[in-house]
Amino acid sequence: MSDALTVINQYACFNGTVGFYRHASQVCNCEMRFAVFVPPQAKQASVPVLYYLSGLTCTEENFTTKAGAQRYAAEYGLMLVAPDTSPRGEDVPDAEDAWDFGKGAGFYVDATESPWNQHYHMYSYVVDELPTLIHANFPVQPDRTGIFGHSMGGHGALICGLKHPDRYRSISAFAPISAPSQCQWGQKAFSGYLGTDRAAWQDYDATELIKRGARIERAILIDQGTEDTFLAQQQLLPEVFAAACEQAGQPVTLRMQPGYDHSYYFIATFIGDHIQHHAAALT
């Protein structure tokens, strides 16, 4: 492991290893953290890698400790990588009166507006810097990569996957913010990070990317709980994304799950299906 990467903690898990790491990010201009599950198969050979992007207020710990994904990743021989959701540190600007903007709410964009443009480059971090670091330090197969996420992270997974079909073989999402330009969360984040020119927003809106011709060969899997309060508040809009996919001919499976909300209880219930979805494309 390179000197650029510091091990915070490591734990045995399903005959593999869960590790928490930190490093100095050139892209985000601060220290960044992420978690990795290395499956037992990696002891013998390089393995496919699956990136998970978390939602608002989360860190690299939420998915790693709550989703129960390691059991299934160990079964299929997939490495799991879960980065933090935003830059951190005393020098990193924050919106102290908001939980849905600033620290913990990077929205997986490259900010162009001051003061956010000094650190908030989560898009480039996820698609460029972090994979480079993973490839240099872990036994992965770079050509076998998938991406998924939850809520804000579902939005991130959709845009990263759709913008780079050459890098990601598979995409899935739990309750993603599917049309951010059309919801309060997305409008707040985009106007703050990217400015008021809505044309710039389209590069980070999965629904708009589909309308502009973005495609991935395999079907996108989306699970959405029917009792999700953010669904009722029109923050997620999965039906808008699904309609755009149907119009454009992009395969998508949108599963409305009766009785489920926005929590990690929902994610833990269906995480096995999502790991299997990616394993079918990656292994």
Residue 151 among the catalytic residues: yes
Within 8 A by CB and 6+ apart from 163, the residues are 127, 203, 209, 214
Which tokens sit at 161?
């996957």
Place of tokens 């100095």: 24
Residue 228 among the catalytic residues: yes
Instruction: Give the chain's largest Cα–Cα span.
Output: 51
How far does Cα 70 stand from its chain's mean position?
Answer: 17
The residue ranges of DSSP E strands in the chain, in sequence order, are 5-13, 16-25, 30-38, 47-53, 79-83, 140-150, 170-174, 220-225, 252-257
Residue among 223, 228, 277, 278 flagged as catalytic:
228
Within 8 A by CB and 6+ apart from 237, the residues are 177, 178, 179, 182, 183, 207
Residue among 151, 170, 172, 178 flagged as catalytic:
151
Which ranges constitute the DSSP H helices of 86-175?
Answer: 122-124, 130-137, 152-163
Residue among 119, 121, 262, 277 flagged as catalytic:
262
For residue 16, the one-letter residue type is: G
Residue 274 among the catalytic residues: no
258 CB-contact burial (10 Å; exposed 0-12 / middle 13-18 / buried 19+): exposed
d(CA 158, CA 86): 17
d(CA 129, CA 119): 14
In the beta sheet, which residues pair with residue 21?
7, 34
Residues labelled catalytic = 151, 228, 262
